[in-house]
Structure 1
Amino acid sequence: MGEAAPRLRPALVNGQRVHLECPAWCTADHMIESVRFLEDLEHAGEMTDLVIPGGPGYRLLAHARLGSDPFGDDAATRSPYVVVDDGSEPFVMSPAEAAVFADRLEVFAQQVRGLGRDAQSAI
């Protein structure tokens, strides 16, 4: 199964309505706020959250989403990338870097699971 085709979506650039090709994964409403220059327009996907249980409900540790800056100066961010944001600073990763990060998260998850088992056995 292939990737869904991009579609034309409206956007506000310098107060003017324009139509741009928007990737199928982009959930940003480009009409909410006018950007000054086309170079300021970014595509953003839906966020997925990493939460920690505790307290009332949960606490957000970080979230991740797809992004791209199709008209920006940096060639590396014109193509889709993964953003992980912990609330203090966004970390932008290429698809290859995101795969390495995900591998490290799996190792971390196993280590946290082991710590939980150790804590449970010490009770």
Structure 2
Amino acid sequence: MRISELARRTGVSTHRLRRYDDLGLVTARRTDRGYRAYDEAAVREVTFLAMGRDLGFSLDELGALLPRYRDGSLSIDEMVAGLRARIAVVETEIAEREELRDRLVDHVGWFEQRRAAALGARSTKETP
């Protein structure tokens, strides 16, 4: 199948598919006219890559798993362990973002206090 059909069937852009091909993550044979032609297995592989990317895994991480995914030796237990590890990373990122949010809120409060103090100082100077 051509790249446009693979894109349609997987929901992955042709640009991204070309990148996967250039990185050696998926392979296509070339037609006589130089077009990429993918086999049916590419649908499954691209879906694996797209789902992994949507879950925040890097292409390097997915590329390391892909050969075992292709040959069926990547176990469900290993995939679950990888997902749990990714959850731990996301939880750490959430905690860091919440800490940042709290610091931002504190800064807003500090500036609002300064503004209120400055306005209060002006109003006492204007009152005889």
TM over 0.5: no
Whose relative contact order is higher, 1 or 2, with alpha carbons under 8 Å and at least 6 apart? 2
> Which TM-score applies when normalising by structure 1?
0.38
Normalized per residue, the structure richer in helix is 2
> Which TM-score applies when normalising by structure 2?
0.37
